[in-house]
């Protein structure tokens, strides 16, 4: 064999090897199915704080994207790429009271498939406390174990001064309201806090119309208590409201509004009639403009007179076991009239 023939033969062998290697490398692209089809997606409750997302697919995905969207459009996003997790066919994610609207997208190479499912987590009973200022949060914190029946009732908080608690050390069964927002400015938006809490309660009530609610609000900022109850047309037998005194501000308002003993009853009657008209308008989702002659924080006493399921905690109520209740004091102010 000549030198030229040897060179040609060597080149031919190299070419054949290259072709074989190329075929070996490319063969899986033609033989292996890289499609992605979700055959089923199921949601189940591991516990009241955890949801298990289970899926079946024609191939094991190499990536999962999961969104858990809440009623107000906010969502929590999870991007899972760990092969051992993906091979299990399920993953656990945080769950929230209310509707958990879960969207799952499974990826494999350039293929993907998506599915949406909803799972509701509910309770027979809730304690809900969107509180502003210092004293109400302090009082609520001191009495937390008593309020929650030793932490047996699911309890949800949202504090305007959001640095009041260390949220990593909350007791069992005490949670943040799912849509709670926190700011670095120390003071949050109370109106947003009240409106989103009311919207969340509306969803909870729609999911179980027998659930009972125990609300806690600041007496100096009581509008939220009306939005969540009258605004949602909650049946009175399903809720109670505890107004916690703001402190000296509440006392100053009372002294200003009811400063004349000679007109106390007439002043209170006038505000009481306005309050009834105001809550009626809220229930009917009608305009409340011009109904109240004073700021809403002047109507705590009319609330207590007209609402059997409203009560007010004064500082004395939690520091003295023998302290007279506000209703007893009110009867005294009224001259004994019920």
| Residues paired with residue 239 on neighbouring β-strands, in sequence order | 213
175 C-beta neighbours (distance < 10 Å), count? 17
Residue with tokens 């905690």: 313
Distance CA 178, CA 121 (A): 12
Task: Considering only CA atoms, give the Rg of the chain.
Answer: 31
pTM over 0.85: no
Please, are residues 254 and 267 in contact by the beta-carbon 8 Å criterion? no
> What is the full DSSP assignment across 52-64?
EEEEEESS--SEE
Q: From first to last of its 338 residues, what are the pLDDT tens digits of the chain?
A: 665 555 555 556 556 566 655 656 555 555 567 899 999 999 999 998 899 999 999 999 999 999 999 888 888 999 999 999 999 999 999 999 999 999 999 999 999 999 999 999 999 999 999 998 888 998 999 999 999 999 999 999 998 887 778 888 889 899 988 888 665 555 678 888 899 999 999 999 999 999 999 999 999 999 999 999 999 999 999 999 999 988 877 778 777 777 777 777 888 899 999 999 999 999 999 999 999 999 998 999 899 889 999 998 887 666 655 555 555 556 665 554 44
The two tokens of residue 170 are 């909350």
Q: Are 102 and 56 in contact (CB under 8 A)?
A: no
Strands 50-57 and 38-47, sheet pairing: antiparallel
Give the Å distances, CA to CA, from 240 to 133, 212, 307, 309: 21, 9, 9, 5
Q: Which structural domains are found in the chain, ordered by start? A: 38-121 (2.60.40.10), 125-333 (3.40.50.11120)
């Amino acid at each position: 064999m000549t030198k030229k023939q040897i060179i040609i033969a060597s080149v031919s062998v190299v070419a054949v090897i290259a072709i074989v290697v190329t075929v070996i490398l490319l063969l899986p692209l033609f033989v292996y199915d890289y499609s992605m089809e979700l055959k089923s997606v199921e949601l189940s409750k591991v516990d009241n704080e955890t949801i298990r997302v289970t899926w079946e697919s024609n191939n094991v995905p190499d990536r999962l994207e999961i969104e858990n969207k809440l009623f107000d459009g906010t969502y929590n996003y999870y991007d899972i790429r760990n092969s051992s997790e993906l091979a299990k066919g399920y993953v656990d994610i945080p769950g929230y009271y209310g509707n958990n609207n879960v969207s799952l997208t499974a990826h494999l190479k350039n293929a993907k498939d998506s599915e949406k499912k909803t799972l509701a987590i509910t309770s027979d009973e809730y304690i809900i406390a969107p509180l502003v200022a210092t004293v109400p949060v302090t009082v609520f914190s001191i009495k937390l174990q008593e309020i929650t029946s030793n932490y047996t009732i699911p309890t949800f908080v949202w504090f305007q001064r959001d640095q009041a608690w260390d949220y990593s050390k909350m007791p069992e069964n005490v949670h943040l309201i799912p849509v709670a927002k926190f700011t670095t400015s120390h003071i949050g938006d109370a109106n947003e806090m009240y409106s989103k809490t009311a919207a969340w309660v509306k969803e909870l009530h729609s999911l179980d119309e027998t659930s009972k609610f125990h609300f806690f609000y600041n007496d100096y900022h009581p509008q939220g208590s009306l939005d969540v109850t009258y605004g949602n047309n909650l049946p009175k037998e399903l809720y109670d409201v505890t107004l916690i005194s703001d402190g000296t501000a509440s006392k100053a308002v009372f002294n200003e509004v009811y400063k004349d003993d000679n007109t106390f009853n007439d002043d209170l009657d006038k505000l009481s009639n306005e309050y009834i008209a105001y809550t009626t308008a809220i229930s009917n989702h009608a305009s409340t403009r011009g109904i109240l002659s004073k700021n809403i924080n002047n109507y705590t006493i009319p609330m207590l007179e007209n609402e059997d399921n409203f009560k007010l905690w004064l500082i004395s109520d939690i520091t003295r076991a023998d302290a007279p209740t506000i209703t007893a004091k009110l009867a005294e102010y009224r001259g004994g009239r019920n």
